[in-house]
Amino acid sequence: EDQVTQSPEALRLQEGESSSLNCSYTVSGLRGLFWYRQDPGKGPEFLFTLYSAGEEKEKERLKATLTKKESFLHITAPKPEDSATYLCAVQAGGGYNKLIFGAGTRLAVHP
């Protein structure tokens, strides 16, 4: 069964303290791995798509990497405005385009 597990469940950082969020997955025929950011009361906001092992993508203080078993979202020198829940999702083969989400990591960055 296709599955996505994110860790840690919650993470508290001081402003400027870099860290990484983990997303491990089991999927038959990965078509893509996605990272989303979700603020309270809002819908998930798309960040990155990764398609193959070794791929990396960056956006401001965020960098996403992908291996055959997991993905990492590295946050460099975070700021309080980076506080949010970060969701990882995979899209399996089969042609239906549905996303299978992990439970998310709640990130709190304190000044």
Partner 1 sequence: DTAVSQTPKYLVTQMGNDKSIKCEQNLGHDTMYWYKQDSKKFLKIMFSYNNKELIINETVPNRFSPKSPDKAHLNLHINSLELGDSAVYFCATGGGTEAFFGQGTRLTVV
Nearer to partner 1 among residue 34 and residue 72 (C-beta):
34
Asked whether position 85 contacts partner 1 by CB under 8 A, the answer is yes
Which tokens belong to 9? Answer: 């469940």
Under 8 Å between Cβ of 90 and 99: yes
Shortest spacing between CB 107 and partner 1, in angstroms: 13
Shortest spacing between CB 31 and partner 1, in angstroms: 6
Nearer to partner 1 among residue 11 and residue 76 (C-beta):
11
CA-CA distance, 99 to 95, in Å (whole number)?
11
Asked whether position 103 contacts partner 1 by CB under 8 A, the answer is yes
Of the candidate residues 37, 44, 75, 82, the single one contacting partner 1 (CB under 8 A): 44
Cα–Cα distances in Å, from 44 out to 49, 95, 108? 14, 22, 17
Of the candidate residues 64, 87, 92, 109, the single one contacting partner 1 (CB under 8 A): 87
- Tokens 């089969």 — which residue? 94
Residues in contact with 99: Cβ distance below 8 Å, sequence separation at least 6, in sequence order: 34, 89, 90, 91
Shortest spacing between CB 99 and partner 1, in angstroms: 6
Q: Tell me the residue type at 66.
A: L
Shortest spacing between CB 16 and partner 1, in angstroms: 27
